[in-house]
Amino acid sequence: AAAFPGTPADSLGFEHAANAIAAFEAATWRSDASPFDRYLAGNDEAMPIAARRGGVVFYGRGNCASCHAGNLLTDQSFANIGVPQVGPGKAAEPPRDLGRAEATGAPAERYAFRTPSLRNTAITGPWMHDGVYATLEAAVRHYLDVPAALYGYDASQLPLAFRDMVVTDPAMN
């Protein structure tokens, strides 16, 4: 009622609650004053030189921005990047997780997952859609040689309960 003072209490519905929660989340977790944002706004000194060198790789030869683009550092698209599967997933027959294809049924979308935002990524581990990498460095290194990362995946970085649930078969990743 406080969020919609002109709306009678008996007219408030689910959509009002959803809009109020969305507004709260947008205001609470808004991030537009980070060093990265200040740098984009023209403050060349907002980011340390090492971070700027990383940006050259990110936007250049690393090609990271082809998927991690825009203010949220995501294109909101789905992609299959050959990540080993870990854990039960959402499929009827664990540990198989078909990704976007679970929702669409489209074979071309098997094992495709939404490109995540890179905002605050350093504090959001473990990384990848299934938490397969315990360090951000390991997640980034995955892209250097995807087949090698898939076939040579080291399950020892996982909690014991998940180590025997790793799938590295390329037909299932």
What is the structure's pLDDT at 137? 94
pLDDT tens-digit profile of 101-118?
988 989 999 899 999 999
25 Cβ contact partners less than 8 Å away, ≥ 6 residues apart = none
Show the tokens assigned to 41. 């706004």
Q: What is the pLDDT of residues 27-85, one digit of tens each?
A: 776 767 788 889 888 999 999 999 999 999 999 999 999 999 988 899 999 999 999 98
Residue 93: the pLDDT is 62
- Which pLDDT score, from 0 to 100, does residue 24 have? 87
* Cα separation values, 115 from 3, 33, 77, 146, Å: 32, 23, 6, 16
What is the residue type of 164? D
Query: Are 99 and 109 a contacting pair, CB within 8 Å?
Result: yes
Q: Look up residue 168 and give its DSSP letter.
A: -
Alpha-carbon gap, residue 52 to 100, rounded angstroms: 34
- Map tokens 């009678």 to a residue: 8
Give dist(CA 128, CA 116) in Å, integer. 9
